[in-house]
Structure formats: C-alpha cells, structure tokens
Amino acid sequence: MLLMKVVEDDTMAVSGFEHHTFMCSGCGDVEGRLIFNREQAIPAGSVTIHAAPPLSPATTVQTSPAAPGLLERMAARLRGRPSR
C-alpha cells in the first residue's frame, strides 16, 4: 500500500488525527484510514492551564466566655466542673 494523500482532521476534539488515503501498488485498490499522529498533536506543555482563584481566608468565630465551645465543655466535664 502506498500513501497517496494526508488530510488533517479538525472535527475531533483532540488535534493530531489525520485521514490517510492508501493505494495498492498491485491492484490499484484505494483505502482510507483515520490515523493519530503524535507529532501533529498539541504538546502537553503548550496547553494553557488556568489556576483557580485564591480562596479567601475563612472568617473566625469568636466564642464568648458565656458560650464555651464543645471541646471546652467536654474538658470541663472531665475535670469535674460543670459547664456554664
């Protein structure tokens, strides 16, 4: 089979696909195939990767002495003191 024609396929989502047309040197039969050509594919380094925007710092909730947190209440019970 002799390669007669190469046409780049731009309908695929990934670049690098080509339509190759072959012809048999003995009988003249023609056949077409879809081929993936790595050299024509977009190199991984050339793809633009967008970084996620920075996250804003979480707001901290201040606990007042009148309302201790769960861990503070558990520690007070372990020490034998009732929680407020």
Model confidence over 2-60: pLDDT tens digits?
Answer: 888 988 888 877 788 899 999 998 898 999 999 888 776 665 555 566 777 777 666 55
For residue 20, tell me if it sits in a domain: yes
Number of folded domains that form the chain: 1
**Domain annotation covers residue 71:** no
User: Is 7 strand, coil or helix?
Assistant: strand
Question: Is residue 50 one of the residues assigned to a domain?
Answer: no
* Assigned token pair, 2: 């002799």
Longest CA–CA span in the chain (Å) reads: 99
Give the pLDDT confidence score for residue 48 in this predicted structure. Answer: 63
Q: What is the band of 63 on the pLDDT scale with cuts at 50, 70, 90?
A: low
- Has residue 32 been placed in a domain? yes
Domain annotation covers residue 53: no
Q: Is residue 64 part of a domain?
A: no
pLDDT given for residue 76 in this prediction: 82
Would you say residue 31 lies in a domain?
yes
Residue 78's pLDDT is 86
Full residue range of the structural domain in which residue 13 is found = 1-42
Taking CA atoms, 66 is separated from 44, 69, 74, 78, in Å, by: 58, 10, 15, 19
Q: Is residue 58 part of a domain?
A: no
At 21 the pLDDT is 92
